[in-house]
Amino acid sequence: MNYFSTRDKSLKFSFKDIFLRGLAPGGGLFLPTEIKRFNQDELKDLSKLDYKELATEIIFNFCKDEIKKNDLKSLIEKSYSSFKDKEVVNLRKIGDSNLLELYNGPTLAFKDIAMQIIGNFYEHFKVAKDKTVNIIVATSGDTGSAAIAALNGRENINLFVLHPHNKISSVQRKIMTTTSGSNIYNVAIKGSFDDCQKIVKELFNDENFRTKINMSGVNSINWARIVCQIVYYFYTYFKLKKEKISFSVPTGNFGDIYAGYVAKKMGLPINKLIVATNENDILQRVINNGEYKPDKVKPSISPSMDIQVASNFERLLFYIVGQDDQKVSLLMDHLSKKGFFKLDESEIQEIKKDFEAVKINDETTELIIKNINDQFKFIVDPHTATGFGAAKKIKDLENIVVLGTAHPFKFSDTVKKITGKILEPPLHLKMSLDKKEKFDIIENSNSQIKNYILSKIK
């Protein structure tokens, strides 16, 4: 099986290649030539597996020419040994609602689930054996810490984490900046997450620089991350034991929910995927009105979703325009030159077969956190709260599962303000946050970042 680009179907890359590169040459995103579709009998067999076995079966489909199944299985077992639950994720009832807790990994957000495996992929594929790999990642708060936990101290790997200065929660920042080993560089960019992501994309498209520093990336545009996230959609379906289910997904870069879309393509009986956004609602607008137009980022109480350029949407776009790479290129070109593109009515309808989208503002998010605490003595974080809010707004849908994307401790200041409760750090948080923070503050400038990186890897 090969991988091609959303903007160029003639490209052919292996899993290892696309894992290392992250972004396709020319700026597109990688997609696989085949997506395995399970039949009823196969689904039944899958339903008997535990989480790690299921992960092995699902992920194997996307890299089977390049890793032995047994090796993949041990890699997955090793990756999830630091999680609180043996089953990695935890499905629970909050009143009548279903919540899938995805935040029981070492840095308390769902990003750990993919990132722990990614860290071990670097080792398995021996990519840093002869030459140091420099990984550059942009973070809206949670990807960075998950990447640090997965790559801290690894030989021949440097990790540069770009976060938007003063725009993430203090616990999010501390998890990144108090624990870093000598191969980790935290950089606070004077700008938004979109600025950080833009710099990372520019560096990837700079062929000279990319080769010079042997650059790699672990943002959610990396297909390997999507693949790891498909697993919990299957797992939840088998646990819930209903004929058809829907998911409400707090969304920023469209990575997590896109994994649900792939799960559906693989034959999982998913009814609707509900995109929950905060005030940064570009996805809500494009899905309901067809206009994809990044606005200025508005800081919110769910900072990991303060994103206006939802990169993974391009992967959906590819299928919506009939797998036409030229059309995707044209639309993306229009976006970069004119600042938007527009889908026609039939394309909107095509998206709506699988997706719903709801915006939940900060005020409503706060109310949801308060109500869930009042009624059920349970605390959800602000991101997860938008998922609850969106699920409630969609009528006539049964068996909705809300994805819990972060542990509330990561947003303890917000939680305290709303509920008065002071949260203790959960035991599975492996880091102590009292140590001195280490990070550098840099202008929102591509060339300054380049110079910074070059100065560190001399």
Does 253 bind ligand PLP (CB under 6 A)? Our answer is yes
Say if residues 346 and 336 touch (Cβ distance below 8 Å).
no
Task: Classify burial at 169, counting beta carbons within 10 Å of its beta carbon; exposed 0-12, middle 13-18, buried 19 or more.
Answer: buried
Candidate list 232, 254, 388, 409; residue touching ligand PLP; CB under 6 A: 254
Query: Per-residue string for binding with ligand PLP, 139-158, x by CB under 6 A?
Result: ---x----------------
Cβ 219 to ligand PLP shortest distance, Å: 9
- Dihedral pair phi/psi, residue 422, rounded to 5°: -100, 120
Closest alpha carbon to 147 in 200, 85, 77, 217? 217
Candidate list 57, 101, 256, 362; residue touching ligand PLP; CB under 6 A: 256
Strand (E) or helix (H) holding 380: none
Rule CB under 6 A: which of 264-293 touch ligand PLP?
Answer: none
Cβ 209 to ligand PLP shortest distance, Å: 25
- Of the two residues 38 and 313, which places its CB atom closer to ligand PLP in the complex? 313
Strand runs labelled E in 104-244: 133-138, 157-164, 184-190, 215-216
Angle between helices 69-79 and 51-60 (to 10 degrees): 130
Candidate list 111, 154, 167, 315; residue touching ligand PLP; CB under 6 A: 111
C-alpha distances out from residue 140 to 88, 303, 402, Å? 23, 7, 21
> How many Å from the N-terminal Cα to the C-terminal Cα in the chain?
38
Cβ 132 to ligand PLP shortest distance, Å: 28
Candidate list 31, 59, 200, 305; residue touching ligand PLP; CB under 6 A: 305
Does 387 bind ligand PLP (CB under 6 A)? Our answer is no
Does 373 bind ligand PLP (CB under 6 A)? Our answer is no
Strand-pair category, 291-292 with 341-342: antiparallel
Does 28 bind ligand PLP (CB under 6 A)? Our answer is no
- Of the two residues 369 and 453, which places its CB atom closer to ligand PLP in the complex? 369
Q: Which stretch binds ligand PLP (CB under 6 A): 75-83, 203-211, 245-253, 414-422?
A: 245-253
Does 248 bind ligand PLP (CB under 6 A)? Our answer is no
Q: What is the b/e burial string over 93-121, where b = at least 16 CB atoms within 10 angstroms of the residue's CB?
A: eeeebbbbbbbbbbbbbbbbbbbbbbbbb
- Of the two residues 128 and 320, which places its CB atom closer to ligand PLP in the complex? 320
Task: Classify burial at 229, counting beta carbons within 10 Å of its beta carbon; exposed 0-12, middle 13-18, buried 19 or more.
Answer: buried
Catalytic residue among 111, 201, 239, 272: 111
Candidate list 255, 260, 389, 408; residue touching ligand PLP; CB under 6 A: 255
- Of the two residues 210 and 303, which places its CB atom closer to ligand PLP in the complex? 303
Does 314 bind ligand PLP (CB under 6 A)? Our answer is no
Does 104 bind ligand PLP (CB under 6 A)? Our answer is no
Candidate list 46, 72, 109, 149; residue touching ligand PLP; CB under 6 A: 109
Number of residues counted as binding ligand PLP (CB under 6 A)? 16
Strand (E) or helix (H) holding 8: strand 8-13
Cβ atoms < 10 Å from Cβ of 451: 12
Candidate list 230, 273, 383, 402; residue touching ligand PLP; CB under 6 A: 383
Q: Which residues contact 66 (CB under 8 A, 6 or more apart)?
A: 14, 15, 16, 125
Say if residues 249 and 103 touch (Cβ distance below 8 Å).
no
Does 406 bind ligand PLP (CB under 6 A)? Our answer is yes
Place of tokens 């920023």: 252
Candidate list 107, 197, 251, 271; residue touching ligand PLP; CB under 6 A: 251
Cβ 245 to ligand PLP shortest distance, Å: 19
Q: Which stretch binds ligand PLP (CB under 6 A): 156-164, 249-257, 329-337, 430-438?
A: 249-257
DSSP collapsed to 3 states, 67-121: CCHHHHHHHHHHHCCCCCCCCCCEEEEECCEEEEECCCCCCCECHHHHHHHHHHH
Cβ 274 to ligand PLP shortest distance, Å: 12
- Of the two residues 214 and 248, which places its CB atom closer to ligand PLP in the complex? 248
Cβ 391 to ligand PLP shortest distance, Å: 15
CA atoms 243, 260, 144, 126: torsion sign: positive
Residue 296 annotated to the active site:
no
| Distance, CA of 386 to CA of 377 (rounded, Å) | 18
Q: Which stretch binds ligand PLP (CB under 6 A): 211-219, 246-254, 324-332, 420-428?
A: 246-254
Rule CB under 6 A: which of 123-142 touch ligand PLP?
Answer: 142
Candidate list 116, 304, 308, 414; residue touching ligand PLP; CB under 6 A: 304
CA 54 centroid distance within chain = 20
Strand (E) or helix (H) holding 182: none
Residues that bind ligand PLP (CB under 6 A): 109, 111, 142, 220, 250-256, 304-305, 383, 405-406
Q: Catalytic positions, please?
A: 111
